[in-house]
Amino acid sequence: MAFDDGLVTANLSISLDGFVAGANQTRQDPLGIGGERLHDWMFRQRDANQSIVDQILAPRAYIMGRNMFGPVRGEWPDDEWKGWWGDEPPYHGPVFVLTHHPRDPVAMQGGTTFHFVTTGIHDALAQAKAAAGSGRVSIAGGASTVRQYLAAGLIDRIIVSISPITLGAGERLFEGFDDLRLKPVDVLHNELATQITYDAVR
C-alpha cells in the first residue's frame, strides 16, 4: 500500500499479547526479555516483507523518545552516547529526539543527524514537518512516544506488525486508551508476521 506524502505515521512490531518490548529493558538488552524476537520478520525472508521495510525507512524525518535513543538519563554527561545504531544509523535523515535536557545536534555517517527537542511533542512535530517538506514524518518510538502522539490526534496512519509470539510482560502499545479508534485499510501476512495498516479515525 502506497503512503501519501505529508502523512505522520508510525510503524511498530507487537506481540500477540500487545507488547512492543519485553520486561526488564537494560543497556545490554534494550528491547527487554524476548523483545528482539518481535523483529525477526524484518530479517528472515526479507523479500516477503520488503514493502513494509521500505515504508519504515521511507520517511524524510523521524521523531523518537529519549528512551529509544539511549539509556542515559538526566543531564547529558558528555557526547559519548550517540544511539544504539553505531556510526551509521538506518535513518539517513533528521531525527528529532524528545528530551528534557538540551544537547547540541549530533551528525552521524550516512546523513542521520539527531536533534534534541526540549519543547514538547508539538514543537518536535513542527520541526520534523519543516525538515520533511512534502515527505512523511515517522514517529519512530518507543511506545510511550507513540502513545503521546496518538492521544494528541497527531498520527495519521500506523502499521502494526504482529509477531506470532507472546512476551507475557513488558511495555504495551495501546495502554491507557479508553476510546482509540483505528480503521484497518490494508493487511499483509506470511508465517513470520501479520502487518495491519490502520488510518486514525478523528
Q: How confident is the model at residue 46 (pLDDT cuts 50, 70, 90)?
A: low
DSSP class per residue in the chain: -PPPTT-EEEEEEE-TTSEEE-SS--SSSTT-TTGGGGGHHHHSSGGGGHHHHHHHT--SEEEEEHHHH-S--SS---S----TT-SS-S--SEEEEE-SS----EE-GGG-EEEEE-S-HHHHHHHHHHHHTTS-EEEEE-HHHHHHHHHTT---EEEEEE-S---SSSEESSTT-SS--EEEEEEEE-SS-EEEEEEE--
Query: Distance between CA 147 and CA 166 in Å, rounded?
Result: 21
At residue 64, the pLDDT reads 97
pLDDT exceeds 70 at position 49: no
The CATH architecture one would assign to domain 8-20+32-70+88-180 is 3-Layer(aba) Sandwich (3.40)
At residue 24, the pLDDT reads 81
Mean pLDDT, residues 72-89: 89
At residue 200, the pLDDT reads 93
At residue 3, the pLDDT reads 54
Element (H, E) at 148: helix 143-151
pLDDT (tens digit per residue) in 5-45:
789 999 999 999 999 998 888 777 788 888 889 988 887 76
Q: How confident is the model at residue 57 (pLDDT cuts 50, 70, 90)?
A: low
Indicate the domain borders of the chain: 8-20+32-70+88-180
At residue 77, the pLDDT reads 86
Q: Where are the beta strands (DSSP E) in 36-145?
A: 61-65, 94-98, 106-107, 113-117, 137-141
Q: How confident is the model at residue 59 (pLDDT cuts 50, 70, 90)?
A: confident
pTM of the model: 0.89
Task: Give the other-Cβ count within 10 Å of 124's Cβ.
Answer: 26
pLDDT exceeds 70 at position 47: no
Cell of 26: 537494560
pLDDT exceeds 90 at position 110: yes
In three-state secondary structure terms, 109 is helix
At residue 55, the pLDDT reads 64
pLDDT (tens digit per residue) in 127-176:
999 999 999 999 998 999 999 999 999 999 999 999 999 999 999 999 99
At residue 50, the pLDDT reads 65
Name which residue leads in pLDDT, 46 or 140: 140
